[in-house]
Amino acid sequence: GRKLLMIPGPIEFEPDVLQAMSMATTSHVAPDFIEAFGNSLECMRKVWKSPAGQPFIVAGTGTLAMDMAIVNLIEPADNVLVISSGYFGKRFEDILSRYGANTTVLEAGVGEAVSLDAIEEALKTKPYKALTMTHVDTSTGVLLDPKPIAKLAKKYNVLSILDGVCSVAGEELQQDKWEIDVVLTASQKAVGVPPGLALLMVSERAMQVWENRKTPVCNYYADFSNWLPIMKAYEARKPSYFGTPAVNLVIALETSLKIICNEGIDNRIKRHQQLASAFRAAIEALHLDILPKSNKLAANTLTAVFYPKGIDGAALRSKIAQSNVIIAGGLLSDIKNSYFRIGHMGSVSANDLLAVLGALERALIELEHPVAYGKSLEVFQQELLKNS
């Protein structure tokens, strides 16, 4: 049967987006493609709320977007503060070390976020070039508030780099107003396009820092020098070439960004918040524990949940898969086998989450973990009604 993909990326995509993927591939300098690329760049500014930002669309994954942010803005021996709330926070440390930066890592406890005091304390100790943070760490489902951190970065004259792979177009973001220098993401999450595009929005200040660097960018493909003229050309609706763009993915991106802007970015964020909060209430009604330590720290794009005691995680997930609902296991190495994750972003609807809850209840009962049949669905419906 048809499977419902409820992992935290890739997600279920809109039919129009998938149709765009299957169109006859055009030349990357065909007028229609140039228009689609230009429209996508312009639309990104609305989704990021960054009218002044420089957008980049490059074939690659979210990790390339992280790589591009670091390799273009950081030079060997620069000090960088890594603020981590899970697996993807630590990925910045790996990338930074590869390029010879001096990293200081502030790591939150599982399900927690690093405190502002700890961040300010660290920023006082030495001059940092940049700090990195993860808006939603997909490994833990922890949501960070990037506003006050970006403010601190500003106060100490430090560039702020936000991994928004699991947040952009799903969580509240105002890049310009919050003065975040780089917000990066990938296509396959809340942006709603199959995997394969790295997306970045870079502030004027950060572009200046890149222009003034003293050493060459140590990665040919990722170098802004190669891509900036291409982005500028497409936005001016002119043909250009550096590396062949992922033509069908870009058409799909234009389609999805249009869907996002038609819904309205604020409406879309609100839908994510309403569904996520009803879903958390439903999970709690089953007496299951959510990984983030407080509701304020819980993401609206995915939920990480501990398995109940005595339940074999792989068995639970496979029972749920028998209902044609696909969810994800844990990712944080120490506790990988003790929790699971459900993605609810992009075009997610109440229908999808009702299907997840129904499948979860059936699986728990089949594994002889007693839950009141229908309880989570009832609570989910009530919460939705309350917040609509």
**For binding to ligand PMP (CB under 6 A), which residues are involved?**
9, 61-63, 88, 134, 137-138, 163, 165-166, 186
- State how far the alpha carbon of 112 is from the alpha carbons of 8, 142, 144, 280, 336, in Å: 19, 7, 9, 17, 17
Scored b (16 or more CB within 10 A) or e, 320-354 reads beebebbbbbbbbeebeeebbbbbbbbbbebebbb
DSSP state of 267: H
From the CB of 221, what's the least distance to ligand PMP, in Å? Answer: 15
- Rounded CA separation 57/245 (Å): 9
Token couple for 320: 């749920």
- Residue of closest CB approach to ligand PMP: 62
What tokens appear for 246 in the block?
A: 């992922």
- Least distance in Å: CB of 11 to ligand PMP? 11
Smallest distance from ligand PMP to CB 273, Å: 19
> How many C-alpha atoms does 353 have within 13 Å on its Cβ side?
34
* 142: phi then psi, degrees, rounded to nearest 5: -85, 130
Is there a cis peptide before residue 370, judged by omega within 30 degrees of 0? Answer: no
Question: What stretches of 290-366 adopt beta strand conformation (E)?
Answer: 302-306, 325-326, 328-329, 339-343
Instruction: Find out whether 54 and 228 touch, Cβ atoms under 8 Å.
Output: yes
Whose Cβ is closer to ligand PMP: residue 9's or residue 170's? 9
Q: How far is the CB of 30 from ligand PMP (least distance, A)?
A: 27
Nearer to ligand PMP, 344 or 369 (CB): 344
The nearest distance, CB 305 to ligand PMP, in angstroms, is 17
Q: Which is nearer to ligand PMP, 195 or 358 (CB)?
A: 195
Nearer to ligand PMP, 332 or 379 (CB): 332
What's the closest the beta carbon of residue 86 comes to ligand PMP, in angstroms? 8
Residue 173 vs 282, nearer CB to ligand PMP: 173
Q: Which is nearer to ligand PMP, 341 or 369 (CB)?
A: 341
Cβ closest to ligand PMP, residue 62 vs residue 194: 62
Please tell me whether residue 259 adopts helix, strand or coil conformation. helix
Shortest distance (Å) from residue 367 CB to ligand PMP? 28
Rounded to the nearest whole angstrom, what is the least distance from the CB of residue 61 to ligand PMP in the complex?
3
Cα–Cα distance, 279 to 285 (Å, whole number):
10
Which residue, 79 or 84, is less far from ligand PMP as judged by CB? 84
